[in-house]
Amino acid sequence: MAELTNAPPVDVVDDAERRWSYVVGGVVACVFAVIILASVHWAAQPPSNVEAIDASRLHLSGEFMEGNLGTEILPDGSAVVHVIAQQYSFVPQCIVVPTDTRIVFRVTSPDVVHGFLVAGTNVNSMVVPGFVAEVRTRFDRPGEHVMPCHEYCSVGHEGMWARVKVVDRQEFTRAYGGQRRASCVRQ
Ligand code: CUA
């Protein structure tokens, strides 16, 4: 007489384990497929503005020369702010922009990776040497924002910050309208 037992026959257990090993293998294959497809996709379509620039020649010519830094009002009324992030300061130290204006921040670094963040807004980007970080925004209200570097960039990192002053559009035109590049440094 066979012994009475609740355990299933050995071949049923084998089948169940084999089925589960196929399921787990399938899940692992799916995860790898997602990782590979996502990598290929993002490599082919970078998530943000990728504009290369020679980090060693910024001071020699072009928009990031010292005299070209600051806020430029374009003929269509929009503003472009050219900013350098370097160990351990932003140039200009005080950025002034008008309210109710399309604003493009263009920021680059001559040395290491820095962070570009305007507190209280969604303006937030890494600044990588060799590339121009471009952020588009608009300010509805006048006010002042701190602009700290938020990527650790060595010993002076915590002292690296600037200010963004948002002034009424008419006041901006009155105070800075005559300047080729506006900034609130020395005010
Ligand atoms: Cu620059 Cu931290």
> What is the distance in A from the centroid of ligand 1 to the CA of 3?
75
What is the helix (H) or strand (E) element at residue 187, kind and residue range?
A: none
What's phi and psi for 82, nearest 5 deg? Answer: -95, 120
Structure pTM? 0.75
Q: Is the distance from the beta carbon of residue 149 to the nearest atom of ligand 1 less than 6 Å?
A: yes
Q: Is the distance from the beta carbon of residue 151 to the nearest atom of ligand 1 less than 6 Å?
A: yes
pLDDT band of 59, cuts 50, 70, 90: confident
The predicted pLDDT at position 11 comes to 80
Return d(Cα 109, Cα 99) in angstroms, integer: 27
Taking only the tens place, the pLDDT of each residue in 11-54 is 877 888 899 999 999 999 999 999 999 888 776 655 566 788 98
Residue 55 contacts by C-beta under 8 Å, 6 or more apart in sequence? 108, 109, 110, 111, 129, 130
Residue with CA nearest ligand 1 atom 1: 114
pLDDT of 5 strictly over 70: no
Q: Is the distance from the beta carbon of residue 110 to the nearest atom of ligand 1 less than 6 Å?
A: no
Are 134 and 106 contacting, i.e. CB atoms less than 8 angstroms apart?
A: yes
